[in-house]
Amino acid sequence: MFPALRQGFRSTSLRAARRPAVSAPFRASPFVRTLVTKRYTQDHEAVAFDDATMTGTVYITDYAQSSLGDVVFVELPTEGTEVTQGDQIGAVESVKAASDIYAPISGTVEAVNTGLADKPGLLNQSPEDKGWLCKIKVKDAAEIDSLMEEAAYKAHCES
């Protein structure tokens, strides 16, 4: 009796394995292309611009944080503030010096990194990731093109 059950089980499992898989009809998902562009100012601020959301994430560059030394205090703009390219939007104080932060682009401040109030050292540890300063809803995307690309910024820092 058992050999008959085993044989019956094997034959059904083999048939199931040989059965072609029925796939769901192909569904084209909407493809959204997002381009994130990083640009730099002469004052060592940078912006990562997302063209899908028209939002720029503002941060200081690695060069700036290393020049400042250990950051002890960060002043940030208020959410909802309208800023114009070149406006002072905050300040960074370190054990060596204090430095103003300028808006690399015009728009409305949508978010600020409130974590910097308790941990200003994030600017030293991770200026581009955890140490971002604010997010600005960009008013004019053409302003991004007026900023330096990475190669030009590196040349600026070396001069």
Q: Which domain holds residue 51?
A: 36-158
Tell whether 30 is covered by a domain.
no
Model pLDDT for residues 63-121, shown as the tens digit of each residue: 999 999 999 999 999 999 999 999 999 999 999 889 999 999 999 999 999 999 999 99
Tell whether 96 is covered by a domain.
yes
Q: What is the DSSP code (8-state) at residue 42?
A: T
Report the CATH number that the domain containing residue 93 is assigned in CATH. Answer: 2.40.50.100
Neighbours of 128 (CB within 10 A): 15
Tell whether 105 is covered by a domain.
yes
Whether 21 has a pLDDT exceeding 90, the answer reads no
Tell whether 91 is covered by a domain.
yes
How many percent of the chain have pLDDT more than 70?
79
CA distances from 106 to 4, 11, 49, 153, 158 (A): 79, 71, 12, 20, 28
pLDDT band at 9 (very low <50, low <70, confident <90, very high): very low
Please tell me the total count of domains within the chain.
1
Whether 5 has a pLDDT exceeding 50, the answer reads no
Average pLDDT over residues 27-33: 52
Average pLDDT over residues 26-37: 59
Residue 8 or 125, more confident: 125
Tell whether 104 is covered by a domain.
yes
Tell whether 82 is covered by a domain.
yes
Give CA–CA dist 42/137, Å, rounded.
21
Model pLDDT for residues 54-64, shown as the tens digit of each residue: 999 999 999 99
String of DSSP letters for 48-94: EEETTTTEEEEEE-HHHHHHH-SEEEEE-PPTT-EE-TT-EEEEEEE
Tell whether 130 is covered by a domain.
yes
pLDDT band at 128 (very low <50, low <70, confident <90, very high): confident
Tell whether 84 is covered by a domain.
yes
The rounded mean pLDDT for the chain is 84
Q: What is the pTM of this model?
A: 0.76
